[in-house]
Structure 1
Amino acid sequence: MTHAAQAMTLPAVIEAAVARYADNIAIQDGNTQWSFRQLAEQANFAARAVMAAGVDKGDRVAIWAPNVVEWIVAAIGLQQAGAILVPLNTRLQGSEAADIIDRSGAKLLFTYPQLEKGAVLDLLAQQSLPQLQQIVLLQGDDARATSWGQFLESGETVTAERASARAASISAEDPMDMLFTSGTTGKPKGVLCNHGQNIRVFEQWAATVGLRSDDNYLIINPFFHSFGYKAGWLACLLTGAKILPVLAFDKDKVLAQIAADQVTMLPGAPSLYEMILAHPQRQDYDISSLRLGVTGAAAVPVQLVKDMREQLGFEVVVTAYGLTESCGVVTICRPDDDPETISKTSGRAIDGVEVKCADPATGVEVARGAEGEIWVRGYNVMQGYFDMPEATREAIDSDGWMRTGDIGVMDARGYLTITDRLKDMYIMNGENVYPAEIEKVIYGVEGVAQVAVIGVDKPPQGEVGMAFVVRQPGSDVDEEAIKQACAAQLARYKCPYFVEFIAALPLNASGKVVKPELKKRVAARAAT
């Protein structure tokens, strides 16, 4: 257990980190290099500015930006001011981002000049955001928003004493963040997690993987994900590890940075390690510093685990399983597990958490080795979905068990293998994709009578979307029209990779699409 085990709010974690690691480098990005003391000072300025902006305890503040230093400072600042962090996926369209900003009731938005879909202020210009009071650009200048420098200066109107009192008023039970996860209905749900549970989960996670104060942690995973935020920079604050944020993934730059910054911790999806292993100039880079690898979110071949250890030199390789509703972690392998266990399972429950494979109808645990829905109970289970009491009741029963919607098998040792999903969700490049959202867009295309979207296997992405479309009589709607409609309204990772036109969708007696039949059709074709 690390020093911060008793520090169950983020302000207390920062205080403990400064006390223990004061002048160690906390974060390094380009020309910016701050110690833990300096990072805390920057976050205090940000907290005062957040308060000066009229943000009260419990208010929501959104961040829509890539992995930059200011993201972390803004996040710590707003959390020290008692606000709830709402991170937004950088790949969203303006309308998708506006929906989350509006439904979360965010008063303040921190953002970045340019994201995947274009200039942010242009993307939001046509959107109705009645509750949003201020937009702050973390980098750059634009007359339509407050610059980061101006924002920090505004904090001078709030005394350090007032900011300290606000931070001290936060308890472990207060909400710390609200990450949005799309529901199977296609409507994103805001998942509320509190300070105490987030900190306890990532104390456990960091202790299990063996993250230390002498680690240099290259954070490629986006900060808007639990993986880049909680298992990323929050874990570094808890252990004293050095944060090295990556703005955009480039395999040559990553290899060069591993060598230059003596990177020891490199988590990511299996495709990350496969790219490094396959790199033709890999031998030209000194990657001997690599020590810890944490992967998941896709199948992990046994050979990859062996290659990571033998060819890339990782001492520790583990896989894990979690979901937004569990603060990000449910199960994890242990460093001394054999390659087969690490490859074929997602580990066993983190300490203090119960996991079972249950009959979805009764909640009764099935026999070990049999498939069941994965249910979780413990301190990692979310407080609930924001403003959605009914959805919360559907997810968490009266005994505190949370249904994950995932199907798995547990062995005699308690190790879990994920076999399928009750929900239709599939995972592309580590991103959760919900077909209902895509189907809604395609259904709106003129000439479309019916549509069903499934995930199909396609390395290296893991899974990609395949849309089965039934045309209206006399319609000549084509693949291009479908793909253009999706590109205009959806983030790129949600757009279907394949489009197939069919005469009729397979339906059951109640008229619902039988998606397993579509999956069988694709599998049979792949086999031939």
Structure 2
Amino acid sequence: MSGLISSSLLRCCAHSLRSVDGLKHSKTWKSCNTSVLHWCRARSLHVDSPPHKPSLTTSYVHGTSTFPLIPLTVGQSLDNTVQRWPDREAVVFLQDGIRKTFAQFQQDVDKVAAGLLALGLKRGDRLGVWGPNIYEWILFQFASAKAGIILVSLNPAYQVKEVEFTLNKVQCKAVVCPTHFKTQKFCEMLREICPEIDLTPAGTVKSSRSCLGSARVPDLRMVIVTDSRQPGMLHVEDVMQAGESRHHKELMDLQSKLSFDDPINIQFTSGTTGSPKGATLSHHNIVNNAYFMGLRMGYTSIPQVRVCVPVPMYHCFGSVLGGMSMAMHGIKLVFPSPGYSSLANLEAIQSEKCNIVYGTPTMFTDLLSQPELHKYDLSSIEAGIMAGSPCPPEIVRKLRTDLNMKEITLAYGTTENSPITFLGFPQDNEELKINTVGCIMSHTEAKVVDPSTGEIVPLGASGELMIRGSCVMHGYWADPEKTGEVISQDRWYRTGDTASLNSLGYCRIEGRIKDMIIRGGENIYPAEIEQFLYTHPKVQEVQVVGVKDERLGEQVCACIRLKEGHISSTEEIRAFCKGQISHFKIPHYVIFVDSYPLTVSGKIKKNILKQDMEKKLGL
């Protein structure tokens, strides 16, 4: 950024510093210092409360705060909170009937952490958790962190080849999973890639020092099952009983040796453009992201925060905004069901009186469309966080009117940024809630650049969003080449998103650079068309993709999910657009669909949707 300061200003400062007689140049230095402060104020923004005075003059912002970064590990953060609120409820898993206070949760965490050490796992080893939202997920999240073991979040939708790739990529020594969930047979798949498991005598407890001898996953030492007992595998209870007093002492001694800069979590990206990449996050990354998110949401001033958490724990939304926020702010997490269920969410909100609800736009859309919505007492709802993909303004309006969610807050981030970099304030006005993804987070820098030149664009102009700060990951695990593609030498992370900044430090996301449709030389952002089509009274949900066109290169294709009981046609949708949006943005193709291809975290796989539409249209 120093290049932005005028050379004359720098010369002035340098001249004053070189002066032998400082008094002689005190006026010059004072003038120089004032100029530098003025320059800094035009680019930094105090974000402990909503900024009301437009101050930015360019597409660069630095979120400042009176609250310092937290120099603690995950384990230390949990221990601090347990000391403050030992008897407060920490987690509730409704479907399994599990309730734990902070003191009870800490006791379980310490038992598992000591057990992992007793079984031979050590600081820096990798342990994969593979499954839906069950108690053991969050239990092992904190137990592994306390033991200095790196948690690997495995997508529960992974099939054999995918789980084999990820286990080998990070050299996992242990995997925690249920026997099965819905159609996913976790233990069967692990036996397929590691048939040597069956050669272990029933009831034998393997330590990490004894190799399973698998040719396909040579580093795997043990599988820990959360429900039924399986031959050749450990049960969670075995782990909890394995730790002796010496292992508990080892665990206690370890706490002062762990560094908050140590890697502690590997989150795999969706891998839509190739093999999944392991974003490596440190204690410092996720502790501070959760801490400042909670401050922004006002968790420290709400007497009792009860969060409904339908988002998956394997994703940053669940593990950081959920799990880590619990440890940082002493909030209560309510998990309605292992897998996503709109009805289970409604029941959880009613029975536990949840006042905060987390979700992706798709999850909130499904919630609003529930026919029995009016039968539930949802009066406890005060606020929510929506993230994961761009949100249609119409959904935000409906949450405020239909669910009385006055303080719905939009968030933006990426796995590589731990994850949140922009988050609204609960008290933001409707215009900011509807048209932006929130304000820059504390201790975070953002800039919008021209993708072709790397130069910062004028305020309000579109370009690629880049992020720098304590949130940026260490890198992709064992992949310096891919890391170098997204993190510059000066630690700026390239998001790949097209965005713009306003003078208050709020961000508007316009879409993925790679999702941009180029039709006959015109650049078209799908999000703009989607937001317009959401205003059609029959449209429940819409996704816009570019499909192949021989003459123009690409054509606009709108994939529309209609509201229940409604019918429509291509002609009706195109007529609705005419005169309202530019002619080249009007969808050439309109396809009515019942659903979209989704990741397990609720994100729409646009690349797959594009392929499906091209196949359907015979292109």
Q: Shorter-chain TM-score: which interval? A: 0.7 to 0.9
Does 2:101 align with 1:11?
Answer: no
Q: 1:504 to 1:76 in 2, by over 3 A?
A: same
Question: Who is 2:249 aligned against?
Answer: 161
How far off its partner does 1:58 sit?
1.1
- Output the amino acid matched with 2:127: V
Does 2:208 align with 1:118?
Answer: no
CA displacement, residues 103-161 of structure 1 (integer Å, 9 cap, x when unaligned)? 11110110111135531121122222110100001222211321111222122374321
Instruction: Report 1:284-433 matches (<5 A).
Output: 284-423=375-514
TM-score (norm 2): 0.68
Do 1:21 and 1:240's aligned partners in 2 also have CA atoms closer than 8 Å?
yes
- Output the amino acid matched with 1:16: N
Question: Who is 1:467 aligned against?
Answer: none
Task: Give the one of 161, 184, 202 matched to 1:95.
Answer: 161
Do 1:251 and 1:275's aligned partners in 2 also have CA atoms closer than 8 Å?
yes
Do 1:14 and 1:237's aligned partners in 2 also have CA atoms closer than 8 Å?
yes
How far off its partner does 1:382 sit?
0.7
Task: Give the one of 368, 378, 388 matched to 1:277.
Answer: 368
Paired with 1:121 and 1:168, the residues of 2 have a C-alpha distance of 36
CA displacement, residues 203-223 of structure 1 (integer Å, 9 cap, x when unaligned)? 111111223461111110000
Do 2:70 and 2:287's aligned partners in 1 also have CA atoms closer than 8 Å?
no
Q: Which stretch shows the higher mean deviation, 390-399 or 78-87?
A: 390-399
Paired with 2:149 and 2:281, the residues of 1 have a C-alpha distance of 12
Q: Which stretch shows the higher mean deviation, 305-314 or 347-356?
A: 305-314
**RMSD of Structure 2 on Structure 1 (CA):** 3.1
Task: Give the one of 200, 222, 235 matched to 2:288.
Answer: 200
Do 1:267 and 1:293's aligned partners in 2 also have CA atoms closer than 8 Å?
yes
How far off its partner does 1:228 sit?
0.7
Paired with 2:288 and 2:478, the residues of 1 have a C-alpha distance of 25
Q: 1:171 to 1:455 in 2, by over 3 A?
A: farther
Q: Which stretch shows the higher mean deviation, 178-187 or 265-274?
A: 178-187
Q: Which stretch shows the higher mean deviation, 41-50 or 283-292?
A: 283-292
How far off its partner does 1:493 sit?
7.4
Task: Give the one of 22, 27, 31 matched to 2:86.
Answer: 22
How far off its partner does 1:361 sit?
3.2
How far off its partner does 1:82 sit?
0.3
Question: Who is 1:86 aligned against?
Answer: 152
How far off its partner does 1:504 sit?
10
How far off its partner does 1:297 sit?
2.8
Question: Who is 2:593 aligned against?
Answer: none
Q: Which stretch shows the higher mean deviation, 407-416 or 62-71?
A: 407-416
CA displacement, residues 186-242 of structure 1 (integer Å, 9 cap, x when unaligned)? 111111111012111111111112234611111100000000110112111211111
Paired with 2:559 and 2:432, the residues of 1 have a C-alpha distance of 22
Question: Who is 1:60 aligned against?
Answer: 126
Instruction: Report 1:232-271 matches (<5 A).
Output: 232-245=322-335, 246-271=337-362
Q: 1:47 to 1:259 in 2, by over 3 A?
A: same
Q: 1:33 to 1:320 in 2, by over 3 A?
A: same
How far off its partner does 1:405 sit?
1.1
How far off its partner does 1:51 sit?
0.8
Do 1:68 and 1:247's aligned partners in 2 also have CA atoms closer than 8 Å?
yes
Do 1:11 and 1:168's aligned partners in 2 also have CA atoms closer than 8 Å?
no
Q: 1:322 to 1:459 in 2, by over 3 A?
A: farther
Do 2:70 and 2:284's aligned partners in 1 also have CA atoms closer than 8 Å?
no
Q: Which stretch shows the higher mean deviation, 288-297 or 496-505?
A: 496-505
Do 1:302 and 1:340's aligned partners in 2 also have CA atoms closer than 8 Å?
no
How far off its partner does 1:59 sit?
1.2
How far off its partner does 1:98 sit?
1.4
Do 1:300 and 1:344's aligned partners in 2 also have CA atoms closer than 8 Å?
no
Helix, strand or coil: the match of 1:92? coil
Does 2:263 align with 1:171?
Answer: no
CA displacement, residues 434-484 of structure 1 (integer Å, 9 cap, x when unaligned)? x9xxxxxxxxxxxxxxxx9x99644489xxxxxxxxxxxxxxxxxxxxxxx
Instruction: Report 1:512-527 matches (<5 A).
Output: none
Paired with 1:292 and 1:378, the residues of 2 have a C-alpha distance of 27
Q: Report the structure number with the largest CA radius of gyration.
A: 2
Do 2:388 and 2:603's aligned partners in 1 also have CA atoms closer than 8 Å?
no
- Output the amino acid matched with 2:252: S
CA displacement, residues 282-323 of structure 1 (integer Å, 9 cap, x when unaligned)? 222111011121113334333432332233122411111100
How far off its partner does 1:368 sit?
1.7
Paired with 1:504 and 1:361, the residues of 2 have a C-alpha distance of 34
- Output the amino acid matched with 2:345: V
- Output the amino acid matched with 2:356: M
TM-score (norm 1): 0.80
Larger relative CO (CA 8 A, sep 6+): 1 or 2? Answer: 2
Percent identity, please. Answer: 26
- Output the amino acid matched with 1:167: Q
Does 2:313 align with 1:223?
Answer: yes
CA displacement, residues 379-412 of structure 1 (integer Å, 9 cap, x when unaligned)? 1111111111122222111222111111112223
Do 2:383 and 2:426's aligned partners in 1 also have CA atoms closer than 8 Å?
no
Q: Which stretch shows the higher mean deviation, 352-361 or 176-185?
A: 176-185
Paired with 1:504 and 1:120, the residues of 2 have a C-alpha distance of 37
Question: Who is 1:509 aligned against?
Answer: none
- Output the amino acid matched with 2:468: R
Does 2:110 align with 1:44?
Answer: yes
